[in-house]
Amino acid sequence: MEKARLRTLGLANLKWLHDHPALKEQKEYLISQQLFNDPLWQKAQTIAITKPMDFEFDTHILLKQGWAEGKSMLIPVTNTERRLSFHSVGPETKFTKTAFGVEEPVDEPEVGREVIDLLIVPGIVFTRSGFRIGFGGGFYDRFLLQFQGETCSLVFSEQIQEHWPIESFDQPVKRLFIS
């Protein structure tokens, strides 16, 4: 199946899960607990995540836990060259919504990729081996080419699709936490 069709199917699955909030919250809790109990999270001092759209995994859980544990939490900002920069955020950070509907921090300091210990990569569709289909902009694939830290994704079982063509520019994440 081609990526565009898989992306459509993946979005439909995420929206179905969003329409079943008790199930979505249960899965988010189980996935979060897997992550929080894993050395990837426990060893990381600087963690980069995205602010979610309402149908995506609710990363606010991770922000609160990270701040409670004294970790530095980062959120990406996109630029016109389809590049990501990551910015330090706190509970008082002000955000603005982009044309894509994603919240990005306003006036927060940029942090270099070399200080990120753990990058939690979003996606719509995943293979169990860590390849992912995102929204199609290539932002994360470009960033992952030069990123040396740990990577993982938080994945609902509804997002797993094994059979699609992996392309040369596709960059896998190292670990999936799935429920």
- Name the phi and psi angles at 119, rounded to 5: -110, 115
- Detail the residues annotated as belonging to a binding site for substrate: 56
Phi and psi (nearest 5°) for 80?
Answer: -70, -20
Q: Up-side HSE of residue 45: CA atoms within 13 Å toward CB?
A: 2
The beta strand positions in the chain, using DSSP E, are 46-48, 72-78, 84-89, 95-97, 103-105, 110-111, 118-120, 125-126, 132-133, 150-155, 175-178
**Residues 178 and 160: beta-carbon distance below 8 Å:** yes
Q: Which residues are annotated as a binding site for ATP?
A: 3-7, 132-140
